[in-house]
A and B are shown apart, each in its own frame.
Chain A
Amino acid sequence: MPSSISSSEHTAAVAAPGGLTVLARGFVLTLLLLIAATELLVRTQVLPQDTRAGHLELLRTSDHANAAFGDSHVARGFAAQGSFVNLAYPSENIEDMFAKVRLHFAHHAPGRVIIQADPHLFAAYRVYAPARSNSPAHAPLLHMTADRHRPQLNAYWQAFVEGVGTLHSKVQQTANGALLSEGDFADLPDRMQTFEARMRLQNHALAHPDAVAAAQDRYLDMITFLTERGADLCMISFPVTQDYLTASSADTAAGHATAISFFRQTAAQSGARFIDARAQVKPDRLFRDVDHLNAAGAKAVYDSLIRQCFDR
């Protein structure tokens, strides 16, 4: 370090504090401004478009006998209509699904039930994820400090800047609980489509066999719970893009074939129907991304899924 900024040679313990005060003032005022602006952003732009509260309300009040459970593949890909309710929500794992199944059918018998049967339910990021609460979260004094929002704050600001002053959610929550979404996978360049597929598959590779076995046990418990209560049960592997399918069949280490065998076997043993719909939607324009249908895709495939599941 040059001697010009060598440490002070003043012997006085305290010198004029002006610079430090200005520095501290700049720090504190900016921090307060950021906190206030972010809280305002969350309250005025994020919360009005947040689907979690509406979803929990639907879960609490719905008494539909026909229901679908799963993660975002189901939430976005199953455009529930009529007597069906979609109780799936993004990022949920088997424990979350099972908790919801028990909650929803605690006081009435199940009718037609769709349970997700996608291989990535056994991926590490899912099987090791902590279980979620299905009770409405207690709102903290500052919403921005909630676990749900805090990791997203930078993304909210980024979306706000990109939206030139508005934060536009791409998700539309239907009365029957589906979280339909815009987006067109076909818009992406080919190389990006392939990259997205391979990246996603890395995340979707199955976890350690012990963890997978434990998760499969819980999945079986859920299926048993439903069949014992007389559910007309259908397990679905939801549609994914051709890029994703190609990547998953090329990467045997990801273990998806094993997972599909497990679902098929489980369905056979429990009397449920298993539909492997992964390759049933071909056009990329019906997907929002590499492994989620968009709103058009979800609507297009709905009748076919119901027919395959429940037409005997």
Chain B
Amino acid sequence: MLFASLPFLFGFLPATVLGTFVAYRSLGRQAALIFLSAASLVFYGWHYPPYIVLLVATIGVNFLLARRIHARPDKWLTGIGVALNLGLLAWFKYAGFLAEMVSTILGNHIGVGTILLPLGISFFTFQQIAYLVDIHQRKAEPGKLVEYVFFVTFFPQLIAGPIVHHRELIPQLGQSNFARFLTRDVTMGALLFCIGLGKKVLLADNLRMGADTLFYAQSLGIEPTMAEAWLGMLSYTFQIYFDFSGYADMALGLGLIFGLRLPENFRSPYKSYDIIDFWRRWNITLSIFLRDYIYLPLGGNRKGPVRRYANLWIVMLLGGLWHGAGWQFIVWGALHGFYLTVNHIWRRFSPYRLPPAFSLALTFTCVVIAWVFFRAEDFPQAFAILSAMVGAGSNTAFELAIFADVAWVVVFALSGACLAWFTPNAVQIVTRFKDWRPAAISHQALYGAVGALGAVAVFKTYASGSYAFIYFQF
């Protein structure tokens, strides 16, 4: 189910919020937990119920493994658990890709049939791997089954993160604000949710037309001009940010409505002054996961600079591959591995500091270039877009012919840029206005404006629906 859909906004969400509060009030915490978990499974299986079975099976197996590991810590058993999770992910996500590679190498066709990717499998797999490892390392307790089911299925974070740790979420279930109607939490949650909904429906969905037009035109053999390539790529750069961070804001907001804190996943990444900074602000929970469960176990930066850079590359390549089974994602990861290596070397050896504006522009440009591979269908398309961006095409550089509503594409790209660079992000806004001051005009204006933003987003959703979140495909 999509957050930006009428069945969710006017059916599932109010029913679940009300049901959880009533269950808590009349039957207690456990009942609220069970109700919310059941509702989350309905949310997950809304479009394709059979994958509920898969989700429940992985929960059962991981919980049993965790109990065994906790009772008798065993490196091998933990390894088997991790391998099982990765194997499942590999089957659903990479079987076709691997079969294609093997077919290419051997020259024989190896078919694996059509495999429908279960929604959110990349996220709930990583979450459960982290759980097993944390149990093994004694950073977490297995807890109760009902709590574990809730931890994995809690609908705000189930499909596209943020990746939550068992030790972060479960202790909150015992606190007094879980599943209770506390005005402050509900208000902050609603503020975040409305801002996230606005970012997704009013910005990301509209920025999509610029990005899609560029890639669609190129796929039909229309060579883009430099201006078209940049406008399309800027549209995509802001689209993916507002789409994913909009989702994250909504997830955080929904968590707060139920009295739960989910970790922040974005911190104005396009305001980064270097690429190291960027990765501390973009998809933060994935970065932390990769750091804690891959980079540090590989030795991190403790075994000299060469190993450090090698580890960085391994992490970024795997991070790229995590996004999808395709060489473009691997190249996207490799590019970021390269950027990070250069950045670390520059920090280590260079006595110069670049001017902030230049640093920001350089970092942003590098990110935009990497997004070309992330968005492209294949390498020829990526190289065609890149070559247009550097002005190597045969067309007039500044023609903007392929966009039917070019003025709107420019308006949305500029709006995206202004919001990404010159305004605080949703969490900063909510933090600043968290304590309601009735006498303050700024508070009245902000709360009213956010409510209005939510209404406009709902109206647009009513009229034309909304597109699935980009990260749903991962």
Nearest CB in chain A: distance from B195 CB, A: 11
Pick the contact of A13: B180, B188, B455, B463 (CB < 8 A).
B180
- Chain A residue, CB-CB nearest to B438: A18
One of B262, B399, B405, B448 near A23 (C-beta < 8 A): B448
Look across to chain A and name the residue whose beta carbon is closest to the beta carbon of B228. Answer: A191
Interface string of A36-61 (1 = CB under 8 A from B): 00100000000000000000000000
Do B463 and A4 touch across chains, with their CB atoms under 8 A apart? no
Q: A151-B463, A195-B217 are in contact. Are A26 and B449 (CB under 8 A)?
A: yes
CB within 8 A of A1: which of B217, B262, B449, B458?
Answer: B262
B436 with A11: CB separation less than 8 A: no
CB distance from A25 to the nearest CB of B (A): 7
Stretch at the interface among B45-53, B127-135, B426-434: B426-434
Query: Size band of the A side of the interface?
Result: 35 or more
A20 within 8 A of B: yes
Contact of A34 (CB < 8 Å), options: B259, B405, B456: B456
In the complex, how many angstroms separate the beta carbon of B401 from the nearest chain A beta carbon? 4
A15 within 8 A of B: yes
Q: Are A10 and B190 in contact (CB under 8 A)?
A: no
The bracket for how many chain B residues form the interface is 35 or more
Contact of B220 with A by CB under 8 A: yes
B177, A191: Cβ atoms closer than 8 Å: no
Q: Is B176's CB within 8 Å of the partner chain A?
A: yes
**CB < 8 Å A-B pair total:** 146
A213: interface (CB < 8 Å): no
- Which residue of A17, A154, A188 is within 8 Å of B464 (Cβ)? A154
Please indicate the chain B residues that have their CB under 8 angstroms from the CB of A152 in the complex.
463
CB distance from A264 to the nearest CB of B (A): 29
The listed residue (B427, B458, B464) touching A31 by CB distance below 8 A is B458
Residue A5 lies at the interface, judged by CB distance under 8 Å to chain B: yes
Residue of B nearest to A19 (CB): B436
Which chain A positions have C-beta within 8 A of B430? Answer: 5
Q: Which residues of B contact A17 (CB under 8 A)?
A: 183
| B204 contacts the other chain (CB 8 A) | no
Is B117's beta carbon under 8 Å from chain A? no
Decide if A10 touches B459 in the complex (CB within 8 Å).
no
Q: Is A7 an interface residue (CB 8 A)?
A: yes
Contact yes or no, A191 B181, CB < 8 A: no
* B452 interfacial by beta-carbon distance below 8 Å: yes
Asked if A173 is at the interface of the complex by the 8 Å CB criterion, the answer is no
The interface residues of chain A lying within 8 Å CB-to-CB of B463 are: 150-154
Within 8 A of A (CB), among B255-289: 256, 259-264
Is A16 an interface residue, CB under 8 A from the partner?
Answer: yes
Taken together as a complex, chains A and B put the C-alpha atoms of A26 and B449 apart, in Å, by 7
Which chain A residues lie closer than 8 Å to B427 at the CB level?
1-2, 5
Q: A27 within 8 Å of B by Cβ?
A: yes
User: How does the 8 Å CB contact mask read for B375-393 relative to A, with 1 for contact and 0 for none?
Assistant: 0000000000000000000
Instruction: Assess whether B121 is interfacial by the CB under 8 Å rule.
Output: no
Determine whether the beta carbon of A23 is less than 8 Å from that of B447.
Answer: yes
CB distance from A142 to the nearest CB of B (A): 11
Which A residues, 141 to 160, have Cβ-Cβ distances below 8 Å to chain B?
150-154, 158
Asked if A8 contacts B447 (CB within 8 A), the reply is no
- A192 lies within 8 A of chain B by Cβ: yes
Q: Are B261 and A10 in contact (CB under 8 A)?
A: no
Inter-chain contact B176/A11, CB cutoff 8 Å = yes
Instruction: Give the complex CA separation of A13 and B444 in angstroms.
Output: 23
Chain B residues whose CB sits within 8 angstroms of the CB of A81 once the complex forms = none
Known: A8-B185, A11-B176, A151-B464. A18 touches B194 (CB 8 A): no
| B395 sits at the interface (CB 8 A) | yes
Q: Are A13 and B221 in contact (CB under 8 A)?
A: no
Interface residues of A in 171-225 (CB under 8 A from B): 188-192, 194-195, 198-199, 202
Q: Does any Cβ of A come within 8 Å of B454's Cβ? A: yes
Complex alpha-carbon distance, A6 and B262, angstroms: 9
What A residues does B459 contact at CB under 8 A? 31, 34-35, 38
Across the interface, name the chain A residue whose C-beta is closest to B451: A26
Residues of A within 8 A of B449 (CB): 26
**Complex alpha-carbon distance, A40 and B458, angstroms:** 19
Indicate whether A23 sits within 8 Å of B401 (C-beta atoms), given known contacts A1-B427, A7-B256, A34-B455. Answer: no
The residue in chain B whose Cβ has the minimal distance to the Cβ of A33 is B455
User: Which residue of chain B is the closest to A153 with respect to CB atoms?
Assistant: B463
Contact A26–B464 (Cβ < 8 Å): no
Contact of B451 among A24, A194, A202 (CB under 8 A): A24
Instruction: Encode contact with A along B166-189: 1 for CB under 8 Å, 0 otherwise.
Output: 000000100111001111111110
> Which residues from chain B contact A9 at a C-beta distance below 8 Å?
177
Residue from A8, A28, A194, A195 within 8 A of B184 (CB atoms): A8
Contacts of B395 in A (CB 8 A): 191
List residues of chain A with CB within 8 A of the CB of B452.
26-27, 29-30
Q: Please name all residues of chain A whose beta carbon is closer than 8 Å to the beta carbon of B402 when the two chains form the complex.
A: 191-192, 195
B323 within 8 A of A: no
Does B346 touch A at the CB level, under 8 Å?
no
Interface centre among A10, A16, A20 (most CB of B within 10 A): A20
The reply to whether A191 and B401 form a contact with Cβ atoms under 8 Å apart is yes
**Interchain CB contact under 8 A, A20 and B183:** yes
Residues facing B in A119-177 (CB within 8 A) are 150-154, 158
B259 close to A8 (CB less than 8 A): yes
Instruction: Say yes or no for A106: interface residue by CB 8 A criterion.
Output: no
Pair B182/A26 contact, Cβ less than 8 Å: no
Query: With A and B bound together, what is the CA distance between A182 and B260 in angstroms?
Result: 57
Nearest chain A CB to B233's CB is how many angstroms away? Answer: 18
- Per-residue CB contact flags for chain B residues 209-222 toward chain A (1 = under 8 Å, else 0) read 00000001100111
Tell me, in angstroms, the Cα distance from A1 to B248 when the chains sit together. Answer: 11
CA–CA, A194 to B260, complex, Å?
Answer: 53
- Chain A residues within 8 Å of B176, by CB: 11
Contact with A along B394-412 (1 / 0, CB 8 A): 0100010110110010000
* Complex Cα gap A16–B177 (Å): 16
Q: Which residue of A lies closest to B458 (CB)?
A: A31
The 9 A-B pairs of least Cβ separation, nearest first, read A26-B451, A19-B436, A26-B448, A30-B455, A27-B451, A153-B463, A189-B401, A30-B452, A8-B184
12 A-B Cβ contacts within 8 A? A5-B430, A6-B261, A11-B176, A15-B183, A23-B450, A26-B451, A26-B452, A27-B458, A153-B462, A154-B464, A158-B408, A189-B401
4 further A-B contacts with Cβ under 8 Å, apart from A14-B183, A22-B448, A154-B464, are: A10-B182, A28-B455, A154-B460, A198-B222
Q: Give B contacts to A, CB under 8 Å.
A: 172, 175-177, 180-188, 190-191, 194, 216-217, 220-222, 252, 256, 259-264, 395, 399, 401-402, 404-405, 408, 427, 430-431, 434, 436, 438, 443-444, 447-452, 454-456, 458-460, 462-464
